[in-house]
Every structure is written in C-alpha cells, then in structure tokens.
Amino acid sequence: MYPVDLLRTSSPRPRPPEDALGFGRHFTDHLLRADFTREEGFARPRVLPYGELSLDPATAALHYGQSVFEGLKAFPRPGRGMSLFRPFDHAVRFAHSARRLAMPPVDPDLLLEGFRALLTADAGWMPSAPGTALYLRPLLFASEPFLGVRAARACTLLVFLSPVGGYFGTDCPLRLWVERRRARAFEGGIGAAKASANYVAGLLSAEEAKSRGFDEVLWLDAVTHRFLEEIGTMNVFVRLGDTLVTPPLTGTILAGVTRDSVMVLARERGLKVLERPISIEEIVSAHQSGMLSEVFGTGTAALVAPVGELVLDDARLPLPPTRGLGLLLREELSAIQRGERPDRHGWLWAV
C-alpha cells in the first residue's frame, strides 16, 4: 500500500454543463503529484489543488522531449461509486513507456493508489450523461534543470482529471487522408511508447488534412509507405469479409488497451481476428472487389470510431454506410465499462 496525502482546495471550480464538455477542455479541483530523485526514488504521493506549475527554463523535458503520458477513463457504477477500465494494463504500459525514454518506471501499485485517492477527492465531478466519462491523464516528465543530452536525474509524476464527452464531437463516420509522404514512427524508434514526441510528429499532416476537410490521417509505415499503421492516434481495424484484421505490434504502434478489448469481444462473436500487415494496395483491391466492408479506429478517447471514406492521392474509397461491427463493439464495450453488461474478463476496477 502507498499512503497518499491530501490537501483539499479552498477554491472549488465551477462545474461545466454535461452537454458542453467536449474533450480535454475542463479540469477538476485536484491533481496527484509525486517527485522522483535517484537518491530517494518517488516521494510520497500527494493530492493537491489543481494549479499551474513553476518550471525552471532549463527543465530537461522542455529541451529534450523526455516525457510520457497515459490516458484512461473512470465510469459511474450502477447504484453508487465508480470504476476504472483496465487501469493495471494502463499502469504497466506507462511503466514500459518510461523505461523506453530512460525514465524511472512508476510502480503500478503506487499509480493505482494515487488514482483511487484522486478520484475519491473529485468524485463529484463524474458526469452521468450518455457518452461521458471522467478521463485520467497520468504524465511523467524530466523535471531536472539541466542542459546536456543525458537522462534526467529528477522527474515529476502528475495525474489530473477531465470530465469528457465524445472525442470527435460527432458520430459521423470519419474521412481519412492516407499520408503517403511523411511518417509517424519507425522500427527501432519510440512508436510503441506513449511518448509526447510521437504525437507532435503527426501534427503537421493532421493539420493539413483537416484544412482540406478530412477528420484524420491514416498513417503508413515509414520505410515503404505501403502498410497501414494507425489512424491519427488510434489503432486501425479493417474488416475483410468475415475476418477482422489489425496491424501487428512490431514496435512502431502502441499496444492499445481498447485494441486488445475489441479483439477479445470480436472473437467472442465468432469472428476470425488476425494481427498481420495490411498494405494499402490490399485495401484498394478489397474495396474494388467488395471484400472491404468496414474500417474503424480504436482508442481510449474515441473508443471505436467508424470510417466512412479513405482518400488516397486522387482516389476516393467510400465505405458502405451500414451499421457495422465497429458500432456493435462500441456499444458492447461501453455497456461493460458502465456496468450495464457483465464484466466477464475482470476489466473493471472499483474505486
């Protein structure tokens, strides 16, 4: 057990209306903090009033990108209380990301006790409207003030909360631009870590795509620009006939917790689920033959996001406007998260 100190705020924030939450725009009254030094390890975690940070201009993370984060959600439990969805898996991935960026991994038990203390302090912020949740953002960054390219000797762990609605703000199928020139990650790099630097690598292409009327970018591999990798910040799934296919975890894409959950639920429905490379040429051929029935993305923020159209160079690949597997899986997964269906896999963690 890791005891967590609590200092309650004296200035509670106003609660936003649940029909105007958006995603990541509002933050609760408190945050969790624990500071690491090589001599003492992580100091006793404490829950503090949410507020601005004071950073030295030489803070290592600002110069060398030594920063990782996670994202997971808490949901109201029927009756009372709340549950986190697969928090241990997120904590393990957070530790993996830290190791990859030469930072100290946070003990999953410390992180989970911190989650419990923070959620208990801000339980009143839990929204109840359909499609809403309380989003947790753990962040670990190099906080040592030092100019020199080496692993920092001091780091800061923060966890804060945000009441959220839908990530895209709409249930309309996504329009994707297939990025043929730039790359998000490469083998041997940090693509499999939830590193801050992974996300900035995709911003320019995403902004250009949105300026042309697209919702997101479909990323291809960095070497041949032929094989599917991710949809923006989401894992990608393709349905070819009765088979669901997703790219393998070869070190360039994130091992999504929602990705794994979707594969489990799809197999329970009797579908064949494969993890294998998928080329853009195969997608075009399957679209022409009618074998391509569905494409969707998965992630903590959006859960499952159907795709309505792919645009590759000058070619448009519209997808059938049917109620597909992705939406069925989203409904099933959402019902499990909210305690409306049995949790057969032990995914929920009561707070």
Supply the pTM of this predicted model.
0.96
Contact 34, 74 (CB under 8 A): no
Q: Report the share of the chain in percent with pLDDT over 90.
A: 92
Q: Which residues contact 158 (CB under 8 A, 6 or more apart)?
A: 31, 32, 33, 138, 139, 140
Q: What is the pLDDT of residue 169?
A: 66
Q: Which residue has the higher pLDDT, 78 or 29?
A: 29
Which superfamily does CATH assign the domain made up of 174-335 to? D-amino Acid Aminotransferase, subunit A, domain 2 (3.20.10.10)
Read off the pLDDT of residues 199-250 as tens digits, 9 standing for 90 and up.
999 999 999 999 999 999 999 999 999 999 999 999 999 999 999 999 999 9
What is the dotted CATH code of the domain comprising 5-166?
3.30.470.10
Q: How confident is the model at residue 6 (pLDDT cuts 50, 70, 90)?
A: very high
CB count, 10 Å around CB of 160? 19
Strand partners, 227: 279
Above 70 in pLDDT, residue 141? yes
Q: Which DSSP symbol is given to 73?
A: E
Above 70 in pLDDT, residue 3? yes
| Averaged pLDDT of the chain | 95
Closest Cα to residue 258, out of 345, 348, 330, 172?
A: 330
Q: How confident is the model at residue 171 (pLDDT cuts 50, 70, 90)?
A: confident
Domain boundaries, the chain: 5-166, 174-335
Q: How confident is the model at residue 321 (pLDDT cuts 50, 70, 90)?
A: confident
Q: Which residue has the higher pLDDT, 323 or 285?
A: 285
Above 90 in pLDDT, residue 307? yes
Q: Report the share of the chain in percent with pLDDT over 70.
A: 99
Mean of the pLDDT values across residues 272-292?
97
Above 90 in pLDDT, residue 264? yes
Q: What is the pLDDT of residue 80?
A: 83
> What is the DSSP code string of 191-255?
TTS-BHHHHHTTHHHHHHHHHTT-SEEEEE-TTTS-BEEEETTEEEEEEETTEEEE---SSSS--
User: Token digits for 181?
Assistant: 């020139």
Q: What angle do CA 258, 262, 267 make, to 5 degrees?
A: 155
Q: What is the pLDDT of residue 170?
A: 66
